[in-house]
Amino acid sequence: MQSTRFFNGIYKNNAKIKCNPRQKFQEQMIGMHRQALNYIVSKDRNNAVRPGCTFCTLDQTHPITPVETHRHFYSDCIHVERYWTSIRNWAHPQHIADYTVRDRIFGKPYENTYSIDNTILREARSTLWKCRLTKTIPNIADLKNRLKRQIPTLLLTQKKIEITLGLKRLIVMAES
């Protein structure tokens, strides 16, 4: 059972996000565990969506396609696990980006909304969702491009110096 403090942190971080409405909506849906994954959408009788994982279906490596649940979509899928490993390897010299499954789904509720970890996690989730919609395998280049586009906007809204310095460090990491 999750603590009340944990969920208060999640909802507080979601409420403070200043980003485009589409991304904010996705973050709210993730926080409520209501993201429109194939498993959830397939329960509706009026569509032909199969509950299988989008990325595993693209690759056809599994004889039986696993069901696309939140846990599978953010951690158990082999393609997503490769994506998180590439994020960890990319960030390793400057930052330790070793995230648990809970961090991957909800972010770090005890940190600032715009900390390096929460920014990486939020943009990584958005990149995963975008890759799912375009039916492409996620890669680190997509995340770097997204960070280069999003961070200048985030810098405009920041007042805390440590957050601003962290975001500047993150944009330098994305450009390398």
pLDDT in tens, 34-52: 677 777 777 777 777 788 8
Q: How far apart are CA 165 and CA 45, in angstroms?
A: 50
Distance CA 45, CA 129 (A): 24
Q: Taking the domains of the chain in order of start, what are their residue ranges?
A: 4-175
Kindly report the CA angle at 131 between 42 and 172, in degrees rounded to 5?
145
Residue linked to tokens 């460090």? 169
Are residues 116 and 20 in contact, defined by beta-carbon separation less than 8 angstroms?
no
Res. 86: pLDDT tops 80: yes
Q: Is pLDDT of 163 > 80? A: yes
Give the CA diameter of the chain. 52
pLDDT at 20: 67
Q: Which residue has the tokens 């648990």?
A: 100
Segment 74-84, tens digit of pLDDT: 889 999 999 99
* The pLDDT of residue 9: 63
**CA 122, chain centre distance (Å):** 5
Distance of CA 71 to the CA centre of its chain: 12
Distance CA 105, CA 108 (A): 9
Q: What pTM does this model have?
A: 0.82
Residue 109 in contact with residue 98, Cβ under 8 Å?
no
